[in-house]
Structure 1
Amino acid sequence: MIGGLPPLQWLLTFRAVMEAGSFAGAAKLLNLTPSAVSHQMRALEGRLQRPLFLRVKRTVVPTEEALAYSASIGESFARLVTATSRVSSGADARRLPIHASPSFATLWLVPRLKQFLRAHPSIDVALYASHEPARLGQDGILVDIQYARPVPESCEAVPLAEELIVPMAGPTFVAEHRLREPGDIARVPLIHSLRCVAPWDQWAARHSPHVPLNPRGLQFDRAHLALAAAADGLGLALESTLQAGDHLRRGELLMPFGALGVPAIAHRLVYRREDRDNPEIMAFLEWITGLLAQERHPDRR
């Protein structure tokens, strides 16, 4: 018995009775005697402390509780069959549980995940996303792609890429507001990406120290939301070229002041030192760092 559960044989017999509609029919399905079936059902009812069947002559009528119990057991058995099939047919499959910050997962990783799966068809990826860092070794997560977080002492961290935090906006917004010089930020609504490592006042102090910031603007706690708002013409956003790379390549966002930005190394791939020989982690690390380097220097391919 596991965790207070009745014996599995009782549950199998119960399902057989529900399917056959009688103890005698269930006995034939299971190659048991009717008395053995009856004994098991009495024992199951005793364990549950409630009747499951109304005995009417040679037939049994399930109670409402029996109908609900049977449906739940059937779902559980179906999951067991599926899990068993996966294990028995996927002996060569390897799973890599990855955690990532939501915006990086949405904007960069998921659009490129097909490339990793093609390069490593024997690895199945399980991807989780939240702002809080993963508890490596406790939640089953092997890799964490963190954004601007301290690295635990028990872990190794690999910087993924140097990012440039720059102002960007949709083409229509740039044209309508004639954005050409850093001082133009005083004339337009600003989009504040609250988790960005470089806020607007830091950028302004470096590139337009004498220009007051426009107090109007939107605030978002996720980079992908701030970038979507900027692409939709709602303001001028200050965000990472790594996060916004696909938007910029598609022309959905422009950098009206060019590469005037704040450099940062904010995204790191983190894993436990004791897992440094894990082949799935090393395969993913090699793939992601190689692809990021290619995208940063496409002429070196």
Structure 2
Amino acid sequence: MSNLVTIAAIQMVSSQNCQQNIQKAEQLIHESVEKGAQFILLPEYFCLIHSDPKAKFNIAEPFGNGPIQDMLSRLAKKYNIWLAGGSMPLDVGETDKVTNTLLLYAPDGSLHTRYDKVHLFSIDTPTMRFNEGDTMVRGNQVVTADLPFGRVGFAICYDIRFPAFFVAMGELDLILMPAAFTYPTGQAHWELLLRARAIDNQCFVLAAAQGGKHQSGRQTWGHSMIVDPWANIIECLPEGEGVVITTVDFDKVKEVRSSLPVVRDRHLLTQL
């Protein structure tokens, strides 16, 4: 794969029916491929947005086996693409907890990389109370992957708020950011955070979001987008189902870093 790669972020408004969501994801993946996508990212919990936080237990799969994982593997191979499955629940052997996991499949259909969400979202306001820790087990490691076009850093939603998390990944060419931001937090912070992480790490950011009013009653912010290493927004879809797609030149990362060597010059305090 050359340094010119067509990348796509899929935006969904996932329902309470897992099978319908899988079918919709497959349709949008097909549309992305028709437009030339070589690397595709689905949003966080593309398979289910439900009013009952425990509903995810009913669709949680053992690692390496299940209809959601089978679909991702099958389509990666069918279309000869890199396919990042947003996130999905995986069984951890407990009756009341699952992981929030991003799985990346290679063009031959094999599983390439697994990332379990490290930072579990919680919010407590007069109008909203939610805690992922009630039903999820957090991951415990930073995950990157060296792909043919560059180094990719893995993150999910709430992770975007922790700059040191990305610094710990080292030099990156692309950050993956599947998300399901709430409407108020998204309106306030989503674009700012994505562009800030692009600036911090001088790399591309591929952000695939949930975006609309869900069957569950929840409303997500959307605004799936592709951001370049200078923090320019290349493409953005404000709301509704669809795809943001563009061909990026990963040599742009080197150009930005050579003109303003932020990544070269940064130091963690523990290293001083």
Query: Which of 1 and 2 has greater Rg?
Result: 1
Higher share in helix: 1
TM-score, normalised by the number of residues in structure 1: 0.19
Higher share in strand: 2
Greater relative contact order structure (CA < 8 Å, 6+ sep): 2
